Amino acid sequence: MTPGRVTPAENLHDTLGLRDLGGLRAGAEHRVRPGVLFRGRSPHTVTDMSAGYLADDLWLELVLDLRPGGSAAAHGRGPLSGRPVSYLNAPLSDVTLDAVPDHERGLRFCLHHLAATDSPLSTAVRSVCAMAGRPLLLCCETGTGRTDLLVAILLRIAGVDDDEISTDYVRVGSRPPYTIRALLGALDNDFGGALAWARHRGISALDCRRLRDGLLVPG
């Protein structure tokens, strides 16, 4: 590498907050497979070079965009639209939270979409299950709230340790773990766990097994 030159990977870390979820522990004998599940902000602002890196070096197959439809339509896909990368918009709509304290808003947003039977959250989960083991990017405008929710559900279904899910959460902006811990607790207490939530949303046991088999490797 030329001294002082920013690599495409470094550029994407800065511009997208791109992070590979590979390496997260799932019990004593398994971890998330590297190179198949990425999270970050929407890639509509990336350069042509960075789009090429996503498509040609990371072999990205799908961008799963959780932005509301208006935002996704207004900003588009950027340079990735010219690359052989599939795109799915599963818009997690905003929730009116005017009377909710600031520190509770992220949690209330997540709980709303977990409980709402018309939320496309289940579509997003089902789509990742179908493509598990192939390189995917989960994203939204900021790479946080909406992406946090989907990542937490997927990792829980796959059997990733709660401490690892919390560690991933706090890495984004050095946030306190209150929201993610409360979300994981609500999954258990209000919905019977991630697998029970999935079942009630029409996500089959086979889908969940496909997710685990595609995401986890021994190690």
- Residue 113 sits in which domain range? 15-92+105-213
Residue 100 forms part of a structural domain: no
Pair 136, 60: CB distance under 8 Å: yes
Domain count, the chain: 1
Residue 7 forms part of a structural domain: no
User: 149-173: per-residue pLDDT in tens?
Assistant: 999 999 999 999 999 999 999 988 7
User: 40-56: per-residue pLDDT in tens?
Assistant: 999 998 889 889 999 99
Residue 19 forms part of a structural domain: yes
Residue 121 forms part of a structural domain: yes
Residue 173 forms part of a structural domain: yes
Of the pLDDT bands very low, low, confident and very high (cuts 50, 70, 90), residue 1 is: very low
Amino acid at 58: L
Q: Which residue has the higher pLDDT, 22 or 71?
A: 22
What's the rounded Cα separation, in Å, for the pair 156 and 194?
A: 6
Residue 205 forms part of a structural domain: yes
What's the rounded Cα separation, in Å, for the pair 117 and 203?
A: 12
Average of pLDDT values for 195-200? 98
Predicted TM-score of the model (pTM): 0.93
Residue 59 forms part of a structural domain: yes
Q: Which residues contact 106 (CB under 8 A, 6 or more apart)?
A: 144, 145, 148, 179
Residue 35 forms part of a structural domain: yes
For position 117, which CATH number holds? 3.90.190.10
- Give the up-direction half-sphere exposure of residue 183: CA atoms within 13 A in the CB hemisphere: 31
